Amino acid sequence: MPLIYDCLIIGGGAAGMCAAISLKMNNPSYKIAIIEQLSRVGKKLIVTGNGRCNITNADLSYNSFHSENEGFLKHILDNYSGETESFFEGLGVVFTTDDRGRVYPNSLQASSVVDALRFKIEELNIQVFTETKMLSYKKKNAKFEVETDKEIFIGKALLIAAGLFSGGRKLGSDGAAFGLMKSSGYKTVKTTPAIVQLKTESDIVRQLKGIKVDADVILKEGGKTLRQEFGEVLFCDYGLSGPPIMQVSRFVERSKGAKTIYLDLMPHLDFNSLFELLLRRCKTLKDRKAEEFFTGFLNKRLGQVIIKIAGVKLGDSVTAITSSQVKKIASLIKALPFNVIGTTGFENSQVTAGGISLDEFNSSLMSVREEGLFAAGEILDVDGDCGGFNLQWAWSSAFCVAKGIAAYLGGVK
Ligand SMILES: Cc1cc2nc3c(=O)[nH]c(=O)nc-3n(C[C@H](O)[C@H](O)[C@H](O)COP(=O)(O)OP(=O)(O)OC[C@H]3O[C@@H](n4cnc5c(N)ncnc54)[C@H](O)[C@@H]3O)c2cc1C
């Protein structure tokens, strides 16, 4: 016998759990089931923010979110972000904000956010079916029949909150639900990894492996700056990592053109001031070897690599460095180039850019193709920058669908 519910929710991640709770709290009589393919709900949520869960951000400016349908995105952010803090307070989760506006649970434990959601799900008697994977769905007699690898479920409303590809299969991100919707005709926006490390061509990064430096990171395609971010960059054997790299990474696979990362290692000095400073340094340190030219100024290995690229031999005297070589050194410090060859892929990414187009939904995130089908979270064409914006999208879209599902079910006989 199929199991019959008012609402079936595919995916026990951030968006699915939040939508289930919000829907049930406001409509206690509804019978709701969460269908989750992994052994537990919230497996991805538990690893967010390095185990601390950057749950939202104090500044929810539109420019920290990305979608091809910006108008729709703004509508959801404007109308469904305000309740985030009170929702979590109701679950016992108190927020704390760091000096960069990133908001965390006061416990600084992502596991406590998952626990709070789980406890509420139990209290509200929302049924959870773990290790149960949706294989397909179809609409039959104005209801949704969901075939899983265990049972058949029937729901008057269906919410797809199944995420996309980021974090890989161990976190439930196989993109199968996205594939199902795509093959049934839903318009999609190209999916690419975002908030991810970058692979670069240069063998310089291998020489610098393990070094961390503060730099302005500028991602360019041709002469056009795609994104610029300041922060700590980490050199790795495959390329570059660190917060500003993750932040600019979204734009690497969105377009086809060749991309270059330029690191400005002295963003507080303009080129001319830096050039003058280096010329003075040549005089002050005239008795040193070139390999010691940067001692006390730049990281030793980094300084030596720059000296070599500028065509100066490490064993030469500082006095042998020509004015044009000083100019070259200054240019390298202001814009050390790395040709980008790609990202480290979906598995290592925190979020997937692109997804099911928002054009496919009405203002409650109900499908315009299949009445009664809703979607929330990462599966939709919305992604945010690093800093709590992706979870905020999961919460905001969940609040939106919870209201939409209630309105829809209210009208269903
Ligand atoms: C390492 C890492 C760190 C991150 N840190 C942060 C952070 O600090 N702050 C922030 O804002 N964002 C962060 N993110 C991004 C954030 O976690 C996601 O944007 C968010 O979890 C998306 O929520 P979701 O519910 O849409 O999808 P998910 O959390 O991916 O949940 C989808 C669920 O659906 C299940 N599912 C999928 N298909 C099926 C199916 N066919 N049948 C049944 N179940 C299915 C999956 O198993 C999964 O549990 C991080 C991501 C990663 C990978």
What confidence tens digit (pLDDT) does each residue in 380-401 have? Answer: 999 999 999 999 999 999 999 9
Point out the ligand 1 atom lying closest to the alpha carbon of residue 376: 26
Name residues whose C-beta falls within 8 Å of residue 219's C-beta, 6 or more positions apart in sequence: 225, 226, 227, 228, 248, 251, 252, 259, 260, 261, 340
Give span(s): CATH 3.50.50.60, the chain.
Answer: 3-192+351-410
Return the residue matching tokens 């998952």.
Answer: 114
C-beta atoms surrounding 381 within 10 Å: 26
Give pLDDT, residue 411: 61
Bridge partners of 25? Answer: none
Question: Architecture of domain 271-336 in CATH?
Answer: Orthogonal Bundle (1.10)
Per-residue pLDDT of the chain (413 residues; tens, 9 = 90+): 778 999 999 999 999 999 999 999 999 999 999 999 999 999 999 999 999 999 999 999 999 999 999 999 999 999 999 999 999 999 999 999 999 999 999 999 999 999 999 999 999 999 999 999 999 999 998 999 999 999 999 999 999 999 999 998 999 999 999 999 999 999 999 999 999 999 998 788 889 999 999 999 999 999 999 999 999 999 999 999 999 999 999 999 999 999 999 999 999 999 999 999 999 999 999 999 999 999 999 999 999 999 999 999 999 999 999 999 999 999 999 999 999 999 999 999 999 999 999 999 999 999 999 999 999 999 999 999 999 999 999 999 999 999 999 999 996 54
Give span(s): CATH 2.40.30.10, the chain.
Answer: 194-264+339-343
Give span(s): CATH 1.10.8, the chain.
Answer: 271-336
Bridge partners of 384? Answer: 65
Cα-to-centroid distance, 163 and ligand 1 (Å): 6
Among protein residues, the one whose CA lies closest to atom 39 of ligand 1: 162
Among protein residues, the one whose CA lies closest to atom 4 of ligand 1: 48
pLDDT, one tens digit per residue, over 255-274 is 999 999 999 999 999 999 99
Can you give the length of the chain in residues? 413
Cα-to-centroid distance, 225 and ligand 1 (Å): 30
Among protein residues, the one whose CA lies closest to atom 3 of ligand 1: 48
Residue 393: half-sphere exposure toward Cβ, Cα within 13 Å:
29
Q: Which CATH number is correct for 3-192+351-410, 3.50.50.60, 3.40.190.80, 3.40.190.10, 1.10.1740.10? A: 3.50.50.60
Q: Are 387 and 231 spatial neighbours (Cβ–Cβ below 8 Å)?
A: no
Please state at what angle helix 389-410 crosses helix 70-80, rounded to 10 degrees: 80
- In CATH terms, the superfamily for domain 194-264+339-343 is Translation factors (2.40.30.10)
3-class state of residue 371 by DSSP: coil
Give pLDDT, residue 261: 97
Ligand 1 pocket by C-beta < 6 Å: which residues?
10-16, 35-38, 43-45, 47-49, 53-54, 133-134, 161-163, 166-167, 172-173, 176-177, 350-351, 377-378, 388-391, 394
State which of 147, 391, 400 you would mutate to test the pocket of ligand 1, scoring each by most atoms of that ligand within 8 A of its C-beta: 391
* Rounded CA separation 290/297 (Å): 13
